[in-house]
C-alpha cells in the first residue's frame, strides 16, 4: 500500500488558490458563452417586475449587465491576485530585489487581467476606445426616437423604398444633435427633411441620420459599408467636423494597433497615468512609435499654416474619397458640408466653452490660422467631382445668437435651424437632379 502524503499548509494554500482561480475562470467562461443569451431569454419575462426600469430596451439592459459582469469578474481577479501576492510575501519574506520583481509582476497582472474589465469605471478612456474604436451607440437601439440600427430620428430601414428619395447623413455629435432636448426632430437632418418636403411636395422623401458622438469619416465609412445599402440612398451627405482630421488618424492607429496605441488595452493604467501626469513624455513615445502621425492638439490644423498641417490632413481626405466611391457604388450622389466651430468666426457664441478650456485657454478664438482648414477643403478635388461646401459664411452672417449652448460648442435649436436652412438650400438642385432621373419622373 502507498502512503498518502499529508496535506501541508503550503499544499493546502496552493490547492485553494488553484481551485479558486479555476472556479473563477470557469464562471467567466460560462458567462462569455451563455450570459448575454440568458439575459435576452429571461428579460422579456422579468421586465414586468421592474416597473419603470422594465421599459428600457433589451439592448441597453444587455449592455448594462455585460458591463457589470465584466467589472465583477475583474474585481474578483484583482482580489485573488491581491490575496496571493500578500500570502506569498508573508511566507517568502523576500529581499528588496525579489520584492521589486514581485511588485512588477503583480502590476503587470493587474494591467492585463484586472484593469481592462474596470476601464469604464476607472476612467481609462484610452483602453475603452481601444477595445471598441467604433463606439457606436448600439444600446440606444429601440429606444424612443431611435431605430433598431441605433440611428436617431430615422425610420426603420424597410421604410426606405428604392423608389423614394432617400438621403443619408453621415457625421458626429453635431449631426446627431447632441444635447438637444429632442434630437430625433430638432437635429438638422430632420429639419432638412422638412424643408425639402416643402420644396418637393410630390416626392416621398426619407432621411437617415447616421451621426454619433466622436465619429469621423473613417468610422462613418465602416458603418456606411455595413448597413448603408439597407437605406437605398440617393444622396449621401457627409457633415465634416473640425475634430475629424485628428480623430481619423487616432482611429486608424487604434485599428492597426500602431505603436503606443497597440498598448492601450494591455497597459491601460500606465498609459492613462502617462497621459495625465507626463503628457510630454506620452507624446514623445507616441510620436516615436507611430512615426509622428498624430499631433497632440485636437485642432492642430487651426493652430498652424496650411503648409505645415497639410500632411496631417491627407488621411481624412483619403477617407472622404473612399466614402465618395462607396456612395457611387450604392448608386448615390455625394456631397460634403464642412461645419465650422464658433471660435472660427466669432468670440461671443460660447463664452464658457469647456473644450477650449481643456485645451489650455481661448487662444484659438479668432486666431490667425483658424480658417486654414476651410482653405484646404475648398481646394480639395474629389475624384468623382462631388461638391464640397462650407457653412462658415452661413453661421458668420446668420444674425441668430446664441446658436451654441453657453458652456458647450454644440449647436442649440437655433444653430440647427441655421445649419438646416443652409444645407437644404444647397441640396435642392441635387435632389431635383436625382428626382428627374428616377423611374416615372
Per-residue pLDDT of 166-200, as tens digits, reads 999 999 999 999 999 999 999 999 999 999 999 99
Inter-residue contact 213 to 176 (CB < 8 Å) = yes
Examine the domain organization and report whether 283 and 301 are in the same domain: no
Cell of 70: 465584466
Cell of 280: 510630454
Query: In CATH, what number is assigned to the domain containing residue 325?
Result: 3.40.50.1110
Find all residues with CB under 8 Å of 352, minimum gap 6, and list them: 406, 407
Question: 228 versus 30: which is more confidently predicted?
Answer: 228
Question: 3 versus 352: which is more confidently predicted?
Answer: 352
The CA-based diameter of the chain, rounded to the nearest angstrom, is 99
Q: What is the pLDDT of residue 249?
A: 96
Inter-residue contact 419 to 390 (CB < 8 Å) = no
Partners of 405 in the beta sheet? 408
Examine the domain organization and report whether 155 and 177 are in the same domain: yes
The DSSP code for 161 is -
Examine the domain organization and report whether 105 and 143 are in the same domain: no
Examine the domain organization and report whether 167 and 201 are in the same domain: yes
Could you tell me what percent of the chain has a pLDDT over 90?
Answer: 57
Average pLDDT over residues 228-245: 98
Task: Determine, yes or no, domain membership for 1.
Answer: no
Structural domain boundaries, residue 157: 138-247+296-436
Task: Determine, yes or no, domain membership for 387.
Answer: yes
Examine the domain organization and report whether 184 and 311 are in the same domain: yes
Q: Is the pLDDT of residue 42 over 80?
A: no
Q: Angle, nearest 10°, between helix axes 58-92 and 96-109?
A: 170
Rg (CA), the chain: 26
Q: Is the pLDDT of residue 238 over 50?
A: yes
Cβ-based neighbour number of residue 40 at 10 Å: 14
Contacts of range 45-54, beta carbons closer than 8 Å, 24 or more positions apart: none
Question: 431 versus 102: which is more confidently predicted?
Answer: 431
Examine the domain organization and report whether 349 and 282 are in the same domain: no
Q: What is the pLDDT of residue 80?
A: 67
CA distances from 408 to 365, 370, 417 (A): 14, 19, 17
Q: What is the pLDDT of residue 62?
A: 64
Examine the domain organization and report whether 372 and 409 are in the same domain: yes
State which of 269, 290, 311 marks the end of a domain: 290
Enter the pTM of the model. Answer: 0.81
Examine the domain organization and report whether 103 and 190 are in the same domain: no
Average pLDDT over residues 149-177: 97
Task: Determine, yes or no, domain membership for 3.
Answer: no
Q: Residue 151: exposed, middle, or buried by beta-carbon count in 10 A (0-12, 13-18, 19+)?
A: buried
Examine the domain organization and report whether 337 and 202 are in the same domain: yes
Residues counted in the chain? 441
Examine the domain organization and report whether 157 and 26 are in the same domain: no
Q: What is the pLDDT of residue 63?
A: 63
Partners of 408 in the beta sheet? 405
Q: For 55-69, write each residue's pLDDT tens digit.
A: 555 566 666 666 676
Q: Can you list the positions of beta strands (E) in 329-426?
A: 333-338, 388-390, 404-405, 408-411
Average pLDDT over residues 261-272: 89
* Integer Cα distance of 107 and 112 in angstroms: 9
Q: For 365-388, write each residue's pLDDT tens digit.
A: 999 999 999 999 999 989 999 999
Task: Determine, yes or no, domain membership for 419.
Answer: yes
Examine the domain organization and report whether 270 and 329 are in the same domain: no
Q: Is the pLDDT of residue 49 over 60?
A: no
Q: What is the pLDDT of residue 326?
A: 98
Domain count, the chain: 3
Q: What is the pLDDT of residue 195?
A: 97
* Integer Cα distance of 421 and 261 in angstroms: 41
Q: What is the pLDDT of residue 74?
A: 67
Q: What is the pLDDT of residue 366?
A: 93
Q: What are phi and psi of 168, to 5 degrees?
A: -120, 120
Examine the domain organization and report whether 305 and 406 are in the same domain: yes
Mean pLDDT of the chain: 86
Amino acid at each position: 500500500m502507498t502512503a498518502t502524503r499529508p496535506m501541508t499548509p503550503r499544499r493546502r494554500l496552493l490547492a485553494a488558490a488553484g481551485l479558486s482561480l479555476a472556479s473563477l475562470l470557469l464562471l467567466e467562461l460560462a458567462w462569455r458563452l451563455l450570459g448575454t443569451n440568458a439575459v435576452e431569454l429571461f428579460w422579456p419575462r422579468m421586465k414586468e417586475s421592474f416597473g419603470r426600469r422594465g421599459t428600457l430596451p433589451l439592448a441597453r439592459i444587455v449592455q448594462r449587465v455585460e458591463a457589470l459582469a465584466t467589472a465583477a469578474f475583474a474585481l474578483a481577479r484583482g482580489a485573488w491576485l491581491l490575496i496571493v501576492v500578500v500570502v506569498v510575501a508573508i511566507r517568502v519574506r523576500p529581499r528588496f530585489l525579489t520584492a521589486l520583481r514581485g511588485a512588477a509582476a503583480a502590476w503587470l497582472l493587474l494591467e492585463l487581467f484586472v484593469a481592462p474589465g474596470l476601464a469604464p469605471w476607472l476612467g481609462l478612456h484610452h483602453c475603452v476606445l481601444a477595445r471598441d474604436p467604433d463606439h457606436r451607440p448600439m444600446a440606444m437601439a429601440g429606444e424612443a426616437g431611435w431605430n433598431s440600427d441605433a440611428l436617431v430620428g430615422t425610420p426603420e430601414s424597410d421604410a426606405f423604398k428604392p423608389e423614394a428619395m432617400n438621403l443619408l447623413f453621415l457625421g458626429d455629435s453635431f449631426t446627431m444633435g447632441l444635447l438637444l432636448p429632442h434630437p430625433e426632430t430638432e437635429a438638422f437632418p430632420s429639419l432638412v427633411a422638412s424643408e425639402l418636403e416643402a420644396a418637393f411636395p410630390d416626392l416621398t422623401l426619407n432621411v437617415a441620420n447616421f451621426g454619433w458622438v466622436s465619429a469621423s469619416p473613417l468610422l462613418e465609412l465602416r458603418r456606411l459599408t455595413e448597413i448603408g445599402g439597407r437605406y437605398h440612398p440617393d444622396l449621401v451627405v457627409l457633415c465634416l467636423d473640425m475634430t475629424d482630421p485628428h480623430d481619423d488618424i487616432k482611429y486608424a492607429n487604434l485599428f492597426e494597433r500602431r505603436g503606443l496605441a497597440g498598448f492601450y488595452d494591455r497597459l491601460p493604467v500606465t498609459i492613462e497615468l502617462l497621459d495625465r501626469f507626463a503628457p510630454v513624455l506620452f507624446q514623445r513615445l507616441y510620436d516615436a512609435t507611430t512615426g509622428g502621425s498624430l499631433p497632440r492638439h485636437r485642432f492642430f490644423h487651426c493652430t498652424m499654416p496650411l503648409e505645415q498641417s497639410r500632411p496631417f490632413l491627407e488621411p481624412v481626405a483619403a477617407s472622404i474619397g473612399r466614402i465618395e466611391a462607396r456612395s457611387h457604388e450604392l448608386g448615390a450622389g455625394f456631397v460634403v458640408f464642412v461645419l465650422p466651430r464658433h471660435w472660427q468666426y466669432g468670440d461671443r457664441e460660447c463664452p464658457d466653452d469647456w473644450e477650449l478650456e481643456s485645451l489650455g485657454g481661448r487662444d484659438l478664438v479668432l486666431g490667425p490660422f483658424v480658417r486654414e482648414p476651410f482653405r484646404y477643403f475648398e481646394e480639395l478635388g474629389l475624384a468623382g467631382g462631388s461638391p464640397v461646401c462650407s457653412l462658415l459664411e452661413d453661421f458668420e452672417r446668420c444674425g441668430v445668437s446664441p446658436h451654441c449652448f453657453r458652456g458647450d460648442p454644440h449647436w442649440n435649436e437655433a444653430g440647427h435651424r441655421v445649419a438646416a436652412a443652409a444645407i437644404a438650400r444647397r441640396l435642392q438642385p441635387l435632389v431635383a437632379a436625382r428626382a428627374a432621373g428616377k423611374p416615372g419622373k
